[in-house]
Structure 1
Amino acid sequence: MFDSFHIELDGRDLEIQTKRFDCILETYRQGDWIAGATFGIAVYFDVLHLDADGRLVYSPDGVRVRTLTLFVVIAHGVFVTYQLCDGELTSEAIAQKLRQLREEWRNSSRLHSVLVESLQTKQEQIRLLQARLNRAAAVIDSARRLRSGDPLNGIFDRFREETQRLIKGDEPLDVVAWVLANDEAATGSFRDNAGSDPLAEYRL
């Protein structure tokens, strides 16, 4: 069993496996709280070998690889950042980098800013997920109404693309899949025109 960190390298997602924490097959990205992480500032490293396609190679013998040293910073249980260095660093260079990163992240102002930003990001992800689920539930309700012969001609039905898809005969499961995968469907078509209110920025 293991857990996985997801990092970005050359615009691609790269999954790094670890047995350092609770090993519950969990996946972690920046801003995630890590099950089994210790309190305080912790920095870990790993040496990565990648093939020509950017995939991890676990047995590099006889294979031409690109080697990188990865550093992962965890602050009070939260995966806050990572750094990649070219090549396999020496033990002294690794120890120096570990000390440097620990000192940098002991800066409470910097840490506070990153944790707040992570919280905001997670809250927005939760909001979008809840919106998707709500609209998926509405698709199911509309499909049931349509099956029972109830015309979908309410004032809001006319403006919801998912409802129009059902009326055209699209399969309900296809419409649910579209809603769950579509950012625009999740955020909805009705938005306040905050730009018309000069005090919008300050309203609670």
Structure 2
Amino acid sequence: MASLTNVNPALAAYLNEADPALWYRVYCPGDRYNIKTSNIAESITSMLKKAKGYPITYLIEFITKNLGRWYWKRREDALSLTTTFSRGVEYLLAVREHYADMMTVKRIDVWRFHVHGGQRDCLVDFEEKSCSCGVFGVEKIPCSHAIKAVKSAGWHMSTVVEAYYRKDYVYVSYATNIMPNVEHAPIGPDIRCIPPIPKRNWQAKESLVGLHG
């Protein structure tokens, strides 16, 4: 906010007056992702370049075939994981553990810990799954303070990382098979394709009533 104030004071003032829950992830009463991306749409568009200009039946079969291949590769990738969590989460935990080793911790009770070090001293509450730095409660992945508290308590990391980051959840995300169309009967010369019968809207009906009234 200090940097934003230096660049655009009017915008910083507007954000301060607005409800922080509308734009500040930490104050949002629900859960929000921290990344917005159109990568999946771009991947689909890139894939469809080879099928452009072909009949719609071929296009559908082309999409089905490629999505089935993608799902299969991701299932295999999830099964090949030798860690508890996905690769991205495991890397993030390793980086945060490096900084956690430089901190000190004092246990308050069964669930709460006071962690010293880093940019600020923080209170970690495992009953609420939160840390006063805000990272643990938002990401559902322990921050460096929470990692230090977990290690001092002798608990396993899986007790504090949300279950949907586990490799079995990654596998389940792609568990559904996308089946190819094996019963498709090609259209022969004896089959006549006609356009659908359009339905008139109420304005057109009223105009017809007025003409014949």
Answer 1 or 2: which has greater strand percent.
1
- Of structures 1 and 2, the one scoring higher in RCO (CA 8 A, sep 6+) is 2
TM-score range, shorter chain: under 0.3
Answer 1 or 2: which has greater helix percent.
2
TM-score with structure 1 setting the length: 0.26
